[in-house]
Amino acid sequence: MNAIQNVTQNQSQTGQFGKAKLLINGEFVDSQTTVWQDIVNPATQQVLGQVPFATAAEVNAAIESAQNAFESWRQTPIQARMRIMLKLQELIRGKAKEIAKVLTAEQGKTLTDAEGDIQRGLEVVEHACSIGTLQMGEYVEGVARGVDSYTLQQPLGVCAGITPFNFPAMIPLWMFPMAIVCGNTFVLKPSEQDPLSTMMLVELAIEAGIPKGVLNVVHGGKEVVDMLCTHEHIKAISFVGSTAVGTHVYNLAGQHGKRVQSMMGAKNHAVIMPDANKGQTLNALVGAAFGAAGQRCMALSVAVMVGETKHWIDELVEKTKTLKVNAGHEDNTDIGPVISARAKARVLELIGSGVEQGAKLHLDGRDVVVPGYEQGNFVGATIFSGVSTDMRIYKEEVFGPVLAIICVDTLEQAMALINANPFGNGVGLFTQSGATARTFQNQINIGQVGINIPIPVPVPFFSFTGSRGSKLGDLGPYGKQAVQFYTQTKTITSRWFEDSHEAGEVNTTINLR
């Protein structure tokens, strides 16, 4: 695909995909930067391609092109914008398997999970096709004699999106389709670790008919992000990534007057009640803790076993032992590699801290070696029990296949523990009692709750509603909240006089008469 293939480059030097391009004013262009980073297959360390760290001039050019395109794009009829999304969803569906292969190669997750990554993003594009009703204003006739009030949901201007490595398809698709279909123009800054599959989606967006300048892409790291956060033309920033960077983005862009949403790190708990269906619950826990090698912001990292369920730990460990660690493209893989050697070193260090701080290690994934992929960044499933809240494996987001188990006696103790944790992304409850579920959903202070659902990521008719330490900003990505985020509500109060209307008297009060 044009966006990532540079046929003039020697592929043995730059990898199979060559150099990733920038998208500026409708053209996929080579960056003039001197700073490049290898895109590396985490299962093999093979260099797949290179990503540029765009120059300041290139970032400015991308923002300028978005600014120039805005006026005509916002005047483009809403059905025309919607039809581009209809085309885009068709194109993504047709190329999903091809994109999934690239996604697995650069990110490491299994092929089926890569297809899921694309599918969950595709659902947002499908929802964007309903923009005609989503972006409707409100109207009240007769708020005073002859006076009507109504609202317009108007696009903001140039918006920017900054995305993490762990969902290179879904998260860019949370952002640019909704922003653009609302009438904004967009500058996307994908993760520099795995931008290839994102660029394939961007190329499809251009093929679907997004006009030049409406969608732009710049690659890079902190410097590019900081430019987006401070540039006068950028009106809103959507960020998804770690807590440290998301807080920086929120503060910097906020200080520069931008609307910001930062969706950040997590520590997700599941509460297991003694009346839960044991087989289904244990399967759900294993899948949620170790799927995608634990590199999901909604991954399960703490199992809170209530009462007698502490006796289920051995069975949980046995089930976990059946998971197959291998390269994501190999058949029947359950756990692929983590994204980088650095990420692996960090996960191993955190596992070591758990041992040092006295947690009981039931399953140790540190020494896993995958035949044929000895260089891969593999970490096997790891399970600790006896974890206390002052341990690093409890306090820090591991972002690897590590499950911490804490045993408590009651539901109330479980809820108190979870409500005291600073993060608020997701939580699960496993029970067969409707009354327990109702108490839990009412009392738990977490933005996304699964009841017998291990990873409760809402579908796009709703919005992603992580809360507390996992989010800064009021409105979440996708769904109706995204329409609010990407539009400004303008309220019109209007009176039309009939020719015959008498002028009446001057009114110096605030009242409409």
According to CB under 6 A, which residues from 207 to 226 bind ligand NAD? 221-222, 225
**Closest separation in Å from C-beta 348 to ligand NAD:** 17
**Closest separation in Å from C-beta 291 to ligand NAD:** 14
Count of residues engaged in binding ligand NAD, rule: CB under 6 A: 28
**What are 448's strand-pairing partners?**
426
Instruction: In whole angstroms, give the CA distance from residue 341 to residue 375.
Output: 9
Helical ranges in 150-277 per DSSP H:
170-181, 196-207, 222-230, 243-255
Q: Is 27 exposed, middle or buried (0-12, 13-18, 19+ CB in 10 A)?
A: middle
Assess contact for 180 and 155: CB atoms under 8 A.
Answer: no
Taking residues 175 to 204 in sequence order and writing x for each that binds ligand NAD by CB under 6 A, - otherwise, the string is: --------------x-xx------------
**Closest separation in Å from C-beta 473 to ligand NAD:** 11
- Burial letters for 409-429: b for 16+ Cβ neighbours within 10 Å, e otherwise? eebeebbebbeebebbbbbbb
Secondary structure letter of residue 294 according to DSSP: G
**What are 158's strand-pairing partners?**
185, 234
Of the candidates 159, 182, 229, 297, the residue annotated as catalytic is 297
Q: Nearest CA to 108 among 349, 367, 379?
A: 379
DSSP assignment of 202-225: HHHHHHTTPPTTTEEE---SHHHH
**Closest separation in Å from C-beta 242 to ligand NAD:** 3
Residue placing its CB nearer to ligand NAD in the complex, 191 or 385: 191
Taking residues 403 to 422 in sequence order and writing x for each that binds ligand NAD by CB under 6 A, - otherwise, the string is: --------------------
Assess contact for 147 and 493: CB atoms under 8 A.
Answer: yes
What radius of gyration do the chain's Cα atoms show?
A: 25
Q: Which residues contact 256 (CB under 8 A, 6 or more apart)?
A: 229, 230
Residue placing its CB nearer to ligand NAD in the complex, 84 or 217: 217
Instruction: In whole angstroms, give the CA distance from residue 463 to residue 123.
Output: 12
Q: Pick from 6, 397, 454, 475: which binds ligand NAD (CB under 6 A)?
A: 397
Residue placing its CB nearer to ligand NAD in the complex, 315 or 474: 474
**Closest separation in Å from C-beta 294 to ligand NAD:** 10
Q: Pick from 470, 481, 484, 487: which binds ligand NAD (CB under 6 A)?
A: 470
Taking residues 297 to 316 in sequence order and writing x for each that binds ligand NAD by CB under 6 A, - otherwise, the string is: x-------------------
> Residue 423 is inside which H or E element, if any?
strand 423-424
* Residue with smallest beta-carbon separation from ligand NAD: 241
According to CB under 6 A, which residues from 425 to 454 bind ligand NAD? 425
**Closest separation in Å from C-beta 80 to ligand NAD:** 31
Residue placing its CB nearer to ligand NAD in the complex, 155 or 424: 424
Q: Which residues contact 313 (CB under 8 A, 6 or more apart)?
A: 305, 362, 383, 385, 405
Taking residues 149 to 168 in sequence order and writing x for each that binds ligand NAD by CB under 6 A, - otherwise, the string is: -------------xxxxxx-
According to CB under 6 A, which residues from 255 to 284 bind ligand NAD? 263-266
407 included as an active-site residue: no
Contact set with ligand NAD (CB under 6 A): 162-167, 189, 191-192, 221-222, 225, 240-242, 245, 248, 263-266, 297, 397, 399, 425, 464, 466, 470
Catalytic residue positions, numbered: 297
